[in-house]
Structure formats: C-alpha cells, structure tokens
Amino acid sequence: MLPRAIVWPLLLLLKACSNDPGTGPAEIKWDRDICNRCRMVVSDPHFSAQIRHFPEGKRSRVEKFDDIGCAMLWLDQQVWKDDPTVEVWVADFQTGDWLDARSATYVSQNTTPMEYGLGAQPGPGGMSFEQAKSHVYDVEQRFNRHGVQLLERLKEKADRREDAK
C-alpha cells in the first residue's frame, strides 16, 4: 500500500485536473458533445442547455442538450426533477452566455436545433420558464400528432395492399 504522504498529493492533483468546479455550467465541446435526449451533436452556442444534478453519494453530473426544449422534456422524466439543488443552464440566444434557465425569459421567434423555437434572454420581455415549458409541450404534441397520423396512414396503406391480394 502507498504511504499517505504520496496518496494525498496525488488525490489533490487529480481533483485539480478535473476542471469541474462542481457547480455552474460546464464547458461544452461544440460539434463533439451529444444531446442527452435526441442524440444530436450540440453545435449551436446560442440555443444549447445544460442540467447539473447531484446523484446521491457521487460527484455532480452535467447533461448537455442542443435545445432548451430537449432539456425541459428530459428533466421532466427524472425522479429528482424538483430537487432544489438541480441547476438548469441555458445559453443567451444573443450572446451565448450562460443564464440560469429558471430566471431567464424566453422569446419564441427563433429557429432552433430541434424547432422548439425558444431563445433565452436575461431580464423581462418574454415567457417565464413554466410558460416556455408549456410551449415546448405544445410543440411536442403537434409533432407527435403528425407522427401518429403518418403511422395511421402507413397502416391503412398496408391494409389496402393486403386487401388487394
């Protein structure tokens, strides 16, 4: 077993090399990091988001997203979604600076990676976090409705082919 005089400095060195302060937004490797929900590459610094959560007994984890809509939908599926220690960060759509997503406001006239259409900004003049979440669910329902209609049409087409045989 290694002596404590060697182990402690090595542990401190490893901790210092991790580059993760344990809170706040993490560095994103643009065009390399993958969205945790849709699996697309995170490439637009003006519409990305991050969620930092704290698994029990472990270091914090940062999940990265290409669109605030993906982050909101993913977070709603987590059992710890209401934990007050969870940090949600979103990029300012004008500057790319990180904002606390729960205190940012959202404007909807944007073209975003997943077409939820929301851009975050500091200060007043837009939707609240909860209003933005409602907007995301409306968009998701509209997309899903079309997907269901497409599946129904494909099934009808397959049934007609079967009837023609």
Each residue's pLDDT tens digit, 99-141: 999 999 999 987 999 999 999 999 899 999 999 999 999 998 8
Residue 120 lies in a domain: yes
Residue 148 lies in a domain: yes
Order the strands of the 98-100 sheet from edge to edge: 61-65, 49-53, 87-91, 98-100
Tokens standing for residue 161: 């082919």
Residue 76 lies in a domain: yes
Distance CA 113, CA 44 (A): 8
Amino acid symbol at 73? L
Instruction: Give the tens place of pLDDT for each residue, 29-61.
Output: 999 999 999 999 999 999 999 999 999 888 999
Residue 3 lies in a domain: no
Burial (Cβ within 10 Å: 0-12, 13-18, ≥19) of residue 34: middle
DSSP state of 52: E
Q: Which domain holds residue 135?
A: 19-158
Contact 119, 110 (CB under 8 A): yes
Q: Is the pTM of this model over 0.85?
A: no
How many domains, in total, are found in the chain? 1
Computed on alpha carbons and rounded to an integer, the radius of gyration of the chain in Å comes to: 21
Given 3-state DSSP classes, what are the helix, strand and coil percentages for the chain, each rounded to the nearest 5? 35, 15, 45
